[in-house]
Copies of this chain bind each other. A is one copy, B any other.
Amino acid sequence: MRPEHAPKTLRRTTAKGLATRKRIVSTAAELMLTRGIAGTTLDDIGAAATVGRSQMYHYFTDKRELVRDVVRQQTEAIIAHQGPDYDDLTTWEAWQRWRDRMVADSEAGGCVGGCPLGSLGTEVAERDVDARDLVAAGFARWEQGFRDGITTMRERGLLGPDADPHALATTVMVALQGGLLLAQVQRDVRPLAIGLDTAIAAIRRYATGRGVS
């Protein structure tokens, strides 16, 4: 691709430019979490990030491009925030610690905001196919950690051969999303705790008895 045809996002790659771009995306992510995408204008974001209007349009052609970056950034932030156990969900203790972390985090934040990725997903689902696909990819990436852990546990004989890592990982993600949404609306972490306990119990149904705590 010749430089003059490169998308706007690639035109300015100085360290300062990248930092500004990142600040815009972070500010947008924060505003959209409470106001929603539709309730957040480029001008709002520019004002909050102290970036002028012309600079905003220098970095982003339109709001849709910015939303796609927000989805990408929220996915990274969520993965980074899963804690050390998420990268190695290969013991029952690791699953329990990860579950406790998710519940404690939600409770510490007063259940405000729910799941940033789930909220974005709901808002873009019927309005922006590209953003919806990115949210789906974010969920898939997040689920991968669950799938990897379950696969390893099966390989190590902690789970029986009939345990389906794909379906069980989906069960965990369903519990997370449903639990976070209900917790957000009810301002009570209980649905998340119950949902995750049910999902982990569903994995345990395939426990062989080896490595059981």
Contact = CB atoms under 8 A, between A and B. Distances in A.
Interface residues of A, number: 47
Interface stretch (A1-9, A50-58, A165-173): A165-173
B178 A39 contact: no
Contact of A114 (B36, B125, B167): B125
A170 B190 contact: yes
B170 A191 contact: yes
A121 B181 contact: yes
A65 to B, nearest CB: 18
A171 B191 CA distance: 7
Interface in A180-201: 181-182, 184-186, 190-192, 194-195, 198-199, 201
Given A194-B167, A198-B198, A127 B34 contact: yes
B185 A181 contact: no
A191 B199 CA distance: 13
A179 interface: yes
A102 to B, nearest CB: 13
A112 B125 CA distance: 8
A43 to B, nearest CB: 15
Contact of A125 (B126, B177, B184, B199): B184
Binding site of A, secondary structure by majority: helix, strand, loop or mixed? helix
Contact of A178 (B174, B185, B202): B174
B126 A112 contact: yes
Contacts of A181: 118, 121-122, 177-178, 181
A122 B33 CA distance: 10
Contacts of A126: 33-35, 112-113
Contacts of A177: 177-178, 181-182
B125 A122 contact: no
Closest 3 CB pairs of A and B: A178-B178, A38-B38, A174-B178
Given A113-B125, A136-B186, A198-B202, 14 more contacts: A34-B126, A38-B38, A112-B126, A118-B181, A119-B122, A121-B181, A122-B181, A123-B123, A139-B185, A170-B182, A174-B194, A178-B181, A198-B199, A201-B205
